[in-house]
Amino acid sequence: MTTTLPKETTTFEHQSVFRDSLVLGGRAVRETLRTPDSLLPTMFIPLFFLVVNVGQAARIFPSGDTAFLEGQNYGAFQLPVSLLLSASFGAAAMFLVEEIEGGYFDKLRSTPISRMSLVLGRLYAEFLKTLVVAALMIFLALLFGIRVEAGILGFFVIIVLIALWAMVFSGFMQLIAMKSRNAAATQGASMIFFPLLFLTPNFVPRPLLTRPMEIAATFNPVTYVMEAARSLILEGFVASALLKGFLVIAVSMALMLALSVRMVNNYD
């Protein structure tokens, strides 16, 4: 009896977290559907950067003479950059700030709901939204001759990879929202993604970077998520690249969730 009770309690707690998170996630999805215009920057700005970057560098890296393009055009090399950029436009943190300012977050904390659910609810919504946006962006890319070398399965792996990274990024933004409780500070903090994005092999592969940039890219976690997505588009299933990409996401997710739950528990 003493050995089964903790297991039953743990199972019940896990079920409660899952159930409560889905309820809060469904509410966040409905908020997004009520403001569909908020999705426009999520797609327009990344696609704008894709067009601009390809327009600037496509002639420098012709598909037939550039080994790292694997026979595709330069747009295929740049597509993962735009996908990651789209994942950085999550609105979870801004919605959270509104709830904090309006007092609704305090009401949620006073209910018998798990602290993990308060963190995961909106992140589930970001995951679903990014799945849709990433899929639409890849479909548009296919119209311009870009192909996913890993096939249909690779397509699903890419959008899941990008959606998981969106959860990680939005989770860290929620941390800033709970710490600052200020919309301007939260919005400003989201700009940290742009330096991280450009300290990656976004224009050329890592071996072609200058030594200082190569070192910076190697220590940048975004690099490995980008390279994992890029490998699926250009080469197919490359186990080492995928392992590093998903490992970075798993470690970042665990750190984000631990810090978030601690923040909610200590929230005053």
Q: What is the CB neighbour count within 10 angstroms for residue 59?
A: 9
Q: Which of 101, 95, 99, 92 is nearest to 120 (CA)?
A: 92
Amino acid making up residue 167: M
Q: What angle do CA 193, 83, 258 make, to 5 degrees?
A: 50
Model confidence at 38, in pLDDT bands (50, 70, 90)?
Answer: low
- Identify whether the C-beta of residue 146 lies closer than 8 Å to the C-beta of residue 79: yes
Task: Assess contact for 256 and 171: CB atoms under 8 A.
Answer: yes
Domain extent, residue 28, equals: 4-265
Task: Give the lowest-confidence range in 31-40, 47-56, 176-185.
Answer: 31-40
**Is pLDDT at 1 greater than 50 in this prediction?**
no
10 Å CB burial of residue 258 (0-12, 13-18, 19+) is exposed
Residue 196: pLDDT band with limits 50, 70, 90? confident
Burial, 112: exposed, middle or buried (Cβ in 10 Å; 0-12, 13-18, 19+)? exposed
pTM summary value: 0.86
**Averaged pLDDT, 72-99:** 87
Question: What integer pLDDT is reported at residue 58 of this predicted model?
Answer: 86
Residue 15 in this model has a pLDDT that exceeds 60: no
Longest dimension (CA), the chain: 71
Q: How confident is the model at residue 31 (pLDDT cuts 50, 70, 90)?
A: confident
- Average pLDDT of the residues in 95-103: 79
What average pLDDT does this structure show over 25-40? 72
Interaxial angle between packed helices 74-86 and 151-180, expressed in degrees from 0 to 180 and rounded to the nearest 10: 40
Give the pLDDT score at 121: 82
Domain count, the chain: 1
Residues whose CB falls within 8 Å of the CB of residue 3, separated by 6 or more in sequence, listed in order: none
- Give how far the C-alpha of residue 183 lies from the chain's centroid of Cα atoms, to the nearest Å: 21
Question: Residues 128, 180, 266, 117: what is their CA dihedral angle, to the nearest 10 degrees?
Answer: -10
Least Cα distance to 247 among 144, 165, 171 occurs for 165
With 60 as the cut, is the pLDDT of residue 8 above it? no
- Going by C-alpha positions, the residue among 92, 90, 32 that lies closest to residue 260 is 92
- pLDDT, greater one: 183 or 226: 226
